[in-house]
Amino acid sequence: MSDDRYPFQEVEKRWRNWWHENEIHDVDLDTDEEKCRYILVMFSYPSSSKLHIGHWWNYAPTDSYARFLRMNGYKIFEPMGFDSFGLPAENYAIKVGTHPKQTTEESIEFIEQQLDEIGAMYDWRYKVVTSRPEYYRWTQWLFLKLYNHGLAYQKEGLINWCPSCQTVLANEQAEGGECERCHSTVIQRKMTQWYFKVTEYADKLLEGLDEIDWPESTKKRQQNWIGRSEGANIKFTLEKSPDKYIETFTTRPDTLFGVTYVVLAPENDLAIECAEKYSDTPEQLQEVKDYIQRSMQTNEVERTSTTREKTGVFTGAYAMHPLTGKRLPIWVADYVLGSYGTGAVMAVPAHDQRDFEFAEKYELPIQVVIRPMDGLLEAEEMREAYEGPGIMMNSEQFSGVRSEDGKKVIAEKLQKLNLGGPEITYRIRDWSISRQRYWGAPIPLVHCEKCGAVPVPESDLPVLLPDEIKEYRPKGSSPLGALSDWMDTTCPKCGGQARRDPDTMDTYVCSSFYHLRYLAADDHEQPFHAKRMKKWLPIHTYVGGPEHSTGHLIYFRFITRFLHDIGLVPVAEPAQRLIHQGIITHAGSRMSKSKGNVVNPDTFVANYGSDVFRMYLMFMGDYSEGGDWSDEGITGVDRFINRIWRLATRLDGMNVDDTFPVKGDYTDDLYRTLHRTIEAVGSDLEGFAFNTAISRIMELINATYLWIGEKEDAATFKALGRLLKVVARLIAPLAPHFGEEIWHRLGGEGSVFDQSWPEYDPKAMVAETITLIVQVNGKVRDRIEVPTDADQETLKTTALASEKIQEMMQGKQLRKAIVVPGKLVNLVIG
């Protein structure tokens, strides 16, 4: 390593210390400043003590963006904290055989140091750590608020159970029937659990999507996840017990006359009841029981596979058609889900493919009631269901009505008969939040024999998670349940004997309000800080992975809206703009230990420095698309930094004034490039286009090298110094230590991050001449220098006057000339 190399080790350490000592990153949350922006990146969970490349990819560019805004005159709040409760932290503790509190606190300390190495502007005075009592006190407070507003409730129901993690999972954590953490197959279990009524907010969450600047794909995913369906609720009374009925939900009430049977989900308790009490053929009971037993054991993935052949059994009972009174056999089949709608459907084989397949298999009748607008439909000739719109037929007085209108009319008719009516159903389920694990916020509730479930009074919060626990490993029920000292308590209502709720809360509860808590992290008296929220919310830009689209990003919108509705938070939507980071691959595939292609940031930070490492990450590709890591590629950024370094060190000992570069001191070309670069870097950074921002600065430096050549005179150096002072500001957000170093080396006063972003002059970006492209029949044939302000006619005649063009025109006719001012002339000849 030669002497003139940029000494990043010393420089980076020096500036980090200087920033800390001079409180450069401290933000005054109570400022009166108007221009304030809250920039947030999703916090990390300390599952070990090392930052991986994904963390860098997430945090460094976000920080660069925040620094850029700061230089544009904004006060920036860019906090960081730790999502330290939950499975990753706990599993790590179990792996190393140490108490989770200890491993978590140690990890946090290490990670904090490593985060510091990134050189981000975090103001650690506003750190949140979700596993500390001063934080989870408010997690519990939130639970009580939801409880008091009727949005937290307890019920027995089927839940997702991960046999390996030994805990309940929310639907969002068990997508595809797999545990989000360990990828074990999730099984269904009946348990009593606490739920938050996110379903109550389904419509509000959908509507809110229109107001926010989030990726369309993410909005779509949330829409699908919430899954709003408009339709009707229809009741089918039981033949043998007319006061009882089966409730179904359908989006196609217009097909009601085509119902030929009714299907119950195996989970529906009516199934056994029908077979037991209302069956014509009671001997089938055992068969029904066996079927239900079997399908309950089938796992979710298998059961919901679309390719699987449908199965079912007849219960022996019949229901009555609400309008015709016809007898309809009641079946049990597992293609009907217990968790959606009412857990029962009216089957219309002619107009629903699933019912069609089932009817074919079990030889149930197919009744056509909708015909296409311009055709006929015969049941005997059908190969598949007709699911399109059309005209109602075989539907008594409704025949001839268009199916779209029929939906409404039928639903209204049923409402009059008190046999149903219009209904909206959602796919989203209430959020189950009880976890049978140790490392989480205890649910602030006690169970009293006399009074039932009683919330812990707010003044008694936090309900501390006991440290003294021998066995915190999961065992199927909460480890806290075995701590009788902790479990036994008195009822806050009657003072009698009571037991605590042994479960802890899902960590998504912790992260559902952390963005609000950051703003009051120094305040231990109240959960939120009204004045600061008014100033700083909503989050201007929120950065995190797309994998949180239907988890955290729904919960944190839900909780923010809830708190807004009860008047505690000034905004309904937490984040105005959302940006997803892409995935960093290596050698073309995702990094994983098993593939052995994991890139360790520490190695590269040690060899090239934090700035070069973060800048190469940003240079690799589009932020939202990610990029492919290359061990060789990083040398390009390293060279680039050193090229600037060598220019700057030429000026050592020289006094550089603060004058902005003056036109005549450079070649016109370089001067123009300077202004163009300032403009482009600014707009690129605003749009998170770090890769092109960096390449622009590279171009400027390349042009500077060509301009300076061997020149060493004082005037040139003076001009170079002024130019580099602009470069220092341009590069500072991307390479903070380096930017600060260059700034000071050139005699800059104060932190470079307190300087204003350089201004460009639009006039200076325009050259006096442009290269006119002359095309013949769409192909480039000549390039001519012309004055920038030449009018269309001049451009045309200039093009026609070209020798090359004259040659090509020999014996041909000019048919048309398209002139694009400032760009090209296309001559159509033939």
Partner RNA sequence: GCGAGCAUGGCGGAAUUGGCAGACGCGCAGGACUUAGGAUCCUGUACCUCCGGGUGUGAGGGUUCGACUCCCUCUGCUCGCACCA
Decide if residue 53 touches RNA (CB under 7 A). no
Decide if residue 806 touches RNA (CB under 7 A). no
Build a one-symbol-per-residue string for 509-548: x at contacts with RNA by CB under 7 A, - elsewhere.
-------------------------------------xx-
Q: Which is nearer to RNA, 263 or 480 (CB)?
A: 263
Inter-residue contact 336 to 352 (CB < 8 Å): no
Torsion from C-alpha of 774, 775, 779, 785, nearest 10 degrees: 10
Within 302-321, which residues bind RNA (CB under 7 A)?
303-306, 308, 310
Q: Which is nearer to RNA, 766 or 773 (CB)?
A: 773
The stretch among 447-455, 524-532, 694-702, 727-735 that binds RNA (CB under 7 A) is 694-702
Decide if residue 403 touches RNA (CB under 7 A). no
Cβ 282 to RNA shortest distance, Å: 27
Residue 509 has a CB neighbour count (10 Å cut-off) of: 26
Inter-residue contact 436 to 474 (CB < 8 Å): yes
Inter-residue contact 341 to 247 (CB < 8 Å): no
DSSP E strand stretches across 372-478: 391-392, 420-425, 431-432, 434-435, 445-448, 452-455
Decide if residue 609 touches RNA (CB under 7 A). no
Cβ 394 to RNA shortest distance, Å: 18
How far is CA 156 from each of CA 96, 140, 432, rounded to the nearest angstrom? 35, 22, 11
Decide if residue 649 touches RNA (CB under 7 A). no
The correct pick among 691, 751, 798, 802 for binding RNA (CB under 7 A) is: 691
Closest by CA to 168, choosing from 87, 88, 101, is: 87
Decide if residue 823 touches RNA (CB under 7 A). yes
Within 359-378, which residues bind RNA (CB under 7 A)?
none
The correct pick among 554, 637, 656, 784 for binding RNA (CB under 7 A) is: 637
Cβ 157 to RNA shortest distance, Å: 15
CA atoms within 13 A on the CB side of 737: 29
Cβ 304 to RNA shortest distance, Å: 3
**How far is the C-alpha of 751 from the C-alpha of 25, rounded, in Å?**
10
Within 701-730, which residues bind RNA (CB under 7 A)?
702, 705-706
The stretch among 284-292, 519-527, 572-580, 814-822 that binds RNA (CB under 7 A) is 814-822
Binding-site size, RNA (CB under 7 A): 83
- What does the block give as tokens for 359? 């009817």
The correct pick among 335, 472, 518, 613 for binding RNA (CB under 7 A) is: 335
The correct pick among 578, 698, 724, 732 for binding RNA (CB under 7 A) is: 698
- What does the block give as tokens for 604? 């590269």
Build a one-symbol-per-residue string for 550-569: x at contacts with RNA by CB under 7 A, - elsewhere.
x-------------------
Q: Which is nearer to RNA, 35 or 823 (CB)?
A: 823
**How far is the C-alpha of 265 from the C-alpha of 311, rounded, in Å?**
11
DSSP E strand stretches across 2-132: 36-41, 75-77
The correct pick among 209, 296, 337, 377 for binding RNA (CB under 7 A) is: 337
Q: What angle do CA 605, 39, 138 make, to 5 degrees?
A: 105
The stretch among 334-342, 409-417, 516-524, 603-611 that binds RNA (CB under 7 A) is 334-342
Decide if residue 633 touches RNA (CB under 7 A). yes
Q: Coil, strand or helix: which one is 750?
A: coil
The correct pick among 427, 493, 499, 577 for binding RNA (CB under 7 A) is: 427
The stretch among 224-232, 272-280, 371-379, 715-723 that binds RNA (CB under 7 A) is 224-232
The stretch among 285-293, 441-449, 450-458, 775-783 that binds RNA (CB under 7 A) is 775-783
Q: Which is nearer to RNA, 389 or 636 (CB)?
A: 636
Q: Which is nearer to RNA, 112 or 628 (CB)?
A: 628
Closest by CA to 745, choosing from 732, 764, 761, is: 732
The stretch among 336-344, 400-408, 741-749, 752-760 that binds RNA (CB under 7 A) is 336-344
DSSP label at residue 465: P
According to DSSP, the β-strands at 391-392 and 370-371 are: antiparallel
Cβ 662 to RNA shortest distance, Å: 23
Q: Which is nearer to RNA, 249 or 738 (CB)?
A: 249
Inter-residue contact 675 to 760 (CB < 8 Å): yes
Backbone angles phi, psi at 535, to 5 degrees: -75, -40
Cβ 647 to RNA shortest distance, Å: 9
Beta bridge partners of 434: 505
Q: Which is nearer to RNA, 109 or 269 (CB)?
A: 269
**How far is the C-alpha of 746 from the C-alpha of 763, rounded, in Å?**
28
Q: Which is nearer to RNA, 154 or 716 (CB)?
A: 716
**How far is the C-alpha of 358 from the C-alpha of 348, rounded, in Å?**
10
How far is CA 237 from each of CA 233, 242, 260, 271, 348, rounded to the nearest angstrom? 13, 5, 14, 14, 17
The correct pick among 102, 148, 192, 224 for binding RNA (CB under 7 A) is: 224
The correct pick among 276, 628, 665, 761 for binding RNA (CB under 7 A) is: 628
Q: Which is nearer to RNA, 243 or 632 (CB)?
A: 632
DSSP label at residue 44: B
Q: Which is nearer to RNA, 531 or 646 (CB)?
A: 646
Decide if residue 636 touches RNA (CB under 7 A). yes
Q: Which is nearer to RNA, 461 or 723 (CB)?
A: 723
Q: Which is nearer to RNA, 358 or 528 (CB)?
A: 358
DSSP label at residue 715: H
The correct pick among 84, 395, 775, 798 for binding RNA (CB under 7 A) is: 775
Decide if residue 252 touches RNA (CB under 7 A). yes
Amino acid letter, residue 241? S
Cβ 515 to RNA shortest distance, Å: 23
Decide if residue 354 touches RNA (CB under 7 A). yes
The correct pick among 72, 251, 284, 477 for binding RNA (CB under 7 A) is: 251
Cβ-count burial of 356 within 10 angstroms (0-12 exposed, 13-18 middle, 19+ buried)?
Answer: buried
The stretch among 97-105, 462-470, 531-539, 776-784 that binds RNA (CB under 7 A) is 776-784
Backbone angles phi, psi at 824, to 5 degrees: -155, 170
Decide if residue 425 touches RNA (CB under 7 A). yes
Residue 739 backbone zone (phi > 0: left; psi -120 to 50: alpha; other: beta): alpha
Decide if residue 223 touches RNA (CB under 7 A). no
Inter-residue contact 220 to 209 (CB < 8 Å): no
Strand order in the sheet with 824-829: 779-787, 769-776, 824-829, 814-820
Tell me the Cα Rg of the chain. 34
The correct pick among 13, 95, 149, 176 for binding RNA (CB under 7 A) is: 176
Inter-residue contact 775 to 781 (CB < 8 Å): yes
Build a one-symbol-per-residue string for 743-772: x at contacts with RNA by CB under 7 A, - elsewhere.
----------------------------x-
How far is CA 254 from each of CA 39, 328, 346, 404, rounded to the nearest angstrom? 50, 18, 12, 8
Inter-residue contact 187 to 166 (CB < 8 Å): no
Cβ-count burial of 123 within 10 angstroms (0-12 exposed, 13-18 middle, 19+ buried)?
Answer: buried
Decide if residue 780 touches RNA (CB under 7 A). yes
**How far is the C-alpha of 168 from the C-alpha of 87, rounded, in Å?**
12
Inter-residue contact 821 to 795 (CB < 8 Å): yes
Decide if residue 421 touches RNA (CB under 7 A). no
Decide if residue 99 touches RNA (CB under 7 A). no
Cβ 828 to RNA shortest distance, Å: 5
Decide if residue 828 touches RNA (CB under 7 A). yes
